[in-house]
């Protein structure tokens, strides 16, 4: 198999920047803002005057990679940011006219995307998929679930710890000083598709959607989700992998900043509220080759082709290690509890919301046939999580991993939580904690290393950084422990 490292500098030098110069002139752009992601998925940025655009395109911007968590050692910290002009948009939030672009993190000497740059890894994933001959494009729909709170106060110190979130939509969770004098805060019902005036922030979602569509990403719909304390969902149309992984970073940024601009605060935390619905991030996936959807075969179970079933089998087989990337927070596993809609069993089924992989029943045409991975959440680094899912599915196709009821992968079209405990125990389960998922990744990572897409250095750094989070949470007293043990 050919290696898929490539020189980003040479690719970008060949691009025509006439469109960029036109935007700069028409919008009176003063500055260029370069954004890049660390290993965890946090965004960083550096801003330079617009007059330096051609110089930066030719030379990049050097920076100290050792200052970015998990990126590189102090001994070899010099890296360079190379802008990707295909990601340029006029920044909707900066005070002064600014053009923002995403950047690749490259080695300062070679201008090759470094092994631990998430964007470079996603590019390697695309090239690896093409090199297999299985498919040349993958299409995705991410579902963004998040809460919009009026207040979010968080305190973690040696002598005090706690948090408080409030929402003017929920009568049991009103902000300080909010009187609900119009009676539009509600209780004792679910928030799913709740209508205005009780859906107080429909206009803010619409504002978000308007900004998202200006990035070139089409939105399928948006609505109020189940959580009464202003839980929201925004869902895109099917979009190519290479585009959607970047657009998702813009979408998350737009949601956060639009919320703040409207005196609200947004969170994608999987479980910010006890005994209230959690935030997932479902991924709809479809593969195409030469323009044909290779997941479709009329007349089979759910009209799925063998390639689709093998792809499902690969994800289910590697499902435990995948959670290290798709559910990479200690909070993730407070959402993933047996008996709730968030799936914890590794099987698939048609329209089955208790399944890790659901086949949407409404997607019946050849053009729309796809699978939906339902376990993930918004604390993931999109570049890594989606690349890992694609690598697992491709491994399933390459090794013909057929999911069957006999091997426990389904299809099962029933709510498995209605089964007897003995029958449920025969199904494979996802890990019950972040630490357990990282252990699974240690044991099952060969599928990620194919084609040099992932690499040992990245995976080891990922495990190291995430174990810091495990230990930080594990070592702190929990507020509920005070209820249980303070007076013993």
One of 22, 220, 353, 464 is an active-site residue; which one? 353
CA distance 8 to 197: 50
Is 64 tagged catalytic?
Answer: yes
Which of 117, 151, 173, 225 is the catalytic position?
A: 225
> Residues 374, 377, 395, 435: which is the catalytic one?
374
Measured CA to CA in angstroms, residue 417 lies from 347, 354, 410 at distances of 13, 8, 14
Handedness of CA 212, 218, 223, 228 (dihedral sign): negative
By the 8 A CB rule, do 47 and 98 touch? yes
Counts of helices then strands in the chain (DSSP H, E): 15, 17
In the DSSP assignment, the letter for residue 71 is: T
Report whether 324 contacts 447 (CB < 8 A). no
Choosing from 10, 19, 27, 64, which is the catalytic residue?
64
Is residue 145 part of the annotated active site? The answer reads: yes
Known active-site residue 143: yes
Query: 24 burial class (0-12, 13-18, 19+ CB within 10 angstroms)?
Result: buried
CA distance 285 to 216: 20
DSSP H helical ranges for 362-407: 382-398
Active site residue 124: no
Report d(CA 352, CA 360) in Å as an integer: 8
3-state secondary structure 189-205: CCCCCCCCCCCCCHHHH
Active site residue 22: no
Task: Please say if 353 is a catalytic residue.
Answer: yes
Select which of 205, 224, 256, 282 is catalytic.
Answer: 282
Q: What are phi and psi of 193, to 5 degrees?
A: 60, 20
Provide the pairing of β-strand 98-107 with 78-90: antiparallel
Q: What is the DSSP string of 288-342?
A: EETTEETTB-TTSGGGB-HHHHHHHHHHHHTHHHHHHHHS-STTHHHH--TTSSS
For residue 152, the cross-strand partners are: 165
The single residue of 38, 169, 233, 303 carrying the catalytic annotation is 233
Q: Name residue, tokens 């700069």.
A: 24
Beta bridge partners of 48: 32
Specify the pairing of strand 231-236 against strand 137-149: antiparallel
Catalytic one of 372, 377, 395, 435: 372
In the block, which residue shows the tokens 């890894």? Answer: 121
- Of the candidates 28, 29, 25, 60, the one whose C-alpha atom is nearest the C-alpha of residue 46 is 60
237 catalytic per annotation:
no
Question: What is the three-class DSSP state of 429?
Answer: strand
Which listed residue (91, 143, 173, 303) is catalytic? 143
Q: Is 172 one of the catalytic residues? A: no
Bridge partners, 292 (sequence order): 289
Query: Which residues, 6 or more positions from 226, have their beta carbon under 8 angstroms from its beta carbon?
Result: 190, 191, 192, 277
* Cα separation, 441 vs 391, whole angstroms: 14
Closest CA to 169 of 145, 141, 147: 147
Contact 403, 313 (CB under 8 A): yes
User: Which residues form the catalytic set?
Assistant: 64, 143, 145, 225, 233, 282, 353, 372, 374
């Amino acid at each position: 198999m050919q290696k898929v490292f490539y020189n980003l500098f040479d690719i970008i030098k060949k691009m025509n920047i006439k469109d960029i110069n036109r935007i700069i002139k028409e919008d009176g752009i003063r500055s260029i803002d370069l954004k890049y992601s660390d290993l965890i998925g946090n965004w960083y940025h550096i801003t330079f005057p617009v007059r330096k655009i051609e110089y930066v395109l030719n030379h990049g911007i050097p920076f100290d990679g050792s200052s970015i968590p998990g990126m590189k050692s102090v001994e070899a910290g010099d890296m360079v940011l190379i802008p990707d002009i295909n990601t340029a948009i006029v920044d909707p939030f900066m005070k002064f006219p600014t053009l923002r672009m995403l950047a690749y993190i490259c080695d300062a000497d070679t201008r090759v995307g470094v092994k631990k740059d998430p964007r470079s890894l996603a590019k390697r994933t695309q090239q690896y998929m093409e090199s297999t001959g299985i498919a040349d494009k993958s299409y995705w729909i991410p579902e963004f679930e998040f809460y919009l709170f009026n207040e979010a106060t968080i305190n973690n110190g040696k002598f005090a710890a706690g948090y408080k979130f409030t929402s003017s939509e929920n009568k049991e969770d009103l902000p300080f000083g909010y009187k609900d004098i119009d009676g539009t805060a509600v209780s004792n019902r679910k928030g799913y598709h709740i209508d205005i005036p009780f859906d107080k922030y429909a206009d803010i979602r619409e504002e978000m959607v308007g900004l998202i569509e200006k990035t070139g990403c089409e939105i399928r719909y948006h609505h109020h989700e189940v959580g009464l304390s202003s839980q929201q969902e925004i869902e895109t149309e099917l979009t190519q992998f290479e585009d959607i992984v970047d657009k998702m970073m813009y979408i998350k940024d737009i949601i956060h900043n639009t919320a703040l601009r409207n005196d609200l605060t947004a969170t994608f935390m999987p479980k910010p509220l006890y005994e209230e619905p959690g935030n997932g991030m479902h991924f709809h996936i479809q593969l195409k080759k030469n323009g044909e959807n290779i997941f479709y075969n009329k007349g089979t179970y759910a009209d799925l082709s063998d390639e689709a079933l093998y792809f499902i089998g690969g994800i289910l087989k590697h499902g435990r290690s995948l959670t290290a990337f798709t559910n990479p927070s200690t909070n993730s596993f407070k959402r993933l509890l047996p008996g709730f809609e968030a799936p914890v069993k590794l099987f698939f089924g048609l329209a089955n919301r208790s399944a890790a992989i659901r086949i949407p029943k409404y997607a019946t045409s050849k053009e729309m046939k796809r699978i939906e991975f339902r376990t993930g959440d918004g604390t993931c680094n999109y570049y890594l999580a989606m690349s890992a899912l694609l690598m697992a599915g491709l491994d399933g196709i390459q090794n013909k991993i057929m999911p069957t009821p006999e091997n426990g992968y389904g299809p099962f079209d029933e709510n498995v939580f209605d089964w007897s405990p003995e029958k449920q125990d025969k199904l494979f389960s996802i890990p019950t904690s972040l630490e357990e998922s990282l252990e699974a990744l240690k044991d099952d990572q060969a599928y990620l290393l194919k084609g040099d897409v992932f690499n040992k250095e990245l995976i080891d750094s990922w495990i190291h950084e995430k174990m810091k989070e495990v230990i930080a949470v594990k070592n702190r007293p929990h507020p509920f422990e005070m209820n249980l043990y303070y007076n013993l």
